[in-house]
Every structure is written in structure tokens, then in C-alpha cells.
């Protein structure tokens, strides 16, 4: 653990590691808890001083409370690293944009599992349908 004031100061300056977990809908609360457990265990093994942020909302929605808090921490220097279980937990599309913002603020993104998560295939379908719905509404005008 952190013993000396010096070490504590270094962590405060560098900012916490934030474990970010997300599911699309509240029916997946059990999934969210499992995800949080995986991320927390990983952070503990790495010896990180960390905090978990949990979000419920589509990977298409950038107005989620947790995501906004995460980005605020990144921009204010309150976060040194983001840990996610899978890349798409952060956002479904626009990952590069978030990556760029993180790079600008010297924040690393650590992805525990590099493969795609098949158990969230249903979510992907929902997200894609959401895009189609939005685009068709724009194309054909609001009916």
C-alpha cells in the first residue's frame, strides 16, 4: 500500500486509475457487477489505486453520467489510466476520439480482453438498430 506522504502525493498528482464498466440497459445489472469484479480484480493485481465507475446506457450515448465524469477526470488531470474489460465497454463508436483526448492528457487506456465480447452481441444489434432508426428518421423526416 501507500505508506509515505511522498507516495500519496505522487498518486494525487498522477491521479487515480479509473475502472470503467458499462452495460446498455438496467436489465443487465448482474453483468455490470460481474464486469466491475473483473476490472477491480485486475486493478488489484496490478497494484493500482483505483476507483470503479459504472454506467448503464447504450454505447452510442455520450451523455451518460459515468462517461461524462470519466472524461471530466481525464481533462482535469484526476485520472492517470482507464481500465476497461473490453474496448466496446468504453464506447461503441468513436473510440479513437476518446483515445485522442486521453493521449492529450497523458492518460493510458488499458483493455483487459483484446478479443471482441460475444456475450454483448445483442447490445451491438440494439446499437446498430439505433443508428438505422436515427438515420432513417433524418432521411424521411420525422413522421
Which residues does the annotation mark as catalytic?
24
3-class secondary-structure state, position 21: strand
> In 3D, which of 118, 122, 121, 96 has the Cα closest to residue 109?
96
The answer to whether 80 and 107 have CB atoms below 8 angstroms apart is: yes
Question: Taking the alpha carbons of 119, 31, 63, 122 in that order, is the dihedral positive or negative?
Answer: positive
CA distances from 51 to 6, 60, 65, 100 (A): 21, 24, 15, 22
Torsion angle in degrees (nearest 10) through CA of 83, 87, 88, 91: 60
- Report the distance separating Cα 7 and Cα 11, nearest Å: 6
Amino acid at each position: 500500500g501507500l505508506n509515505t506522504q511522498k507516495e500519496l502525493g505522487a498518486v494525487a498528482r498522477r491521479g487515480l486509475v479509473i475502472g470503467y464498466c458499462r452495460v446498455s440497459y438496467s436489465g443487465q445489472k448482474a453483468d455490470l457487477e460481474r464486469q466491475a469484479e473483473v476490472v477491480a480484480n485486475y486493478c488489484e493485481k496490478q497494484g493500482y489505486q483505483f476507483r470503479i465507475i459504472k454506467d448503464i446506457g447504450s454505447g452510442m450515448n455520450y451523455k451518460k453520467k459515468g462517461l461524462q465524469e470519466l472524461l471530466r477526470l481525464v481533462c482535469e488531470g484526476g485520472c492517470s489510466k482507464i481500465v476497461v474489460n473490453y474496448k466496446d465497454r468504453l464506447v461503441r463508436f468513436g473510440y479513437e476520439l476518446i483515445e485522442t483526448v486521453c493521449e492529450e492528457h497523458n492518460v493510458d487506456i488499458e483493455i483487459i480482453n483484446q478479443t471482441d465480447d460475444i456475450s454483448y452481441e445483442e447490445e451491438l444489434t440494439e446499437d446498430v438498430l439505433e443508428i438505422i432508426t436515427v438515420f432513417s428518421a433524418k432521411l424521411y423526416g420525422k413522421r
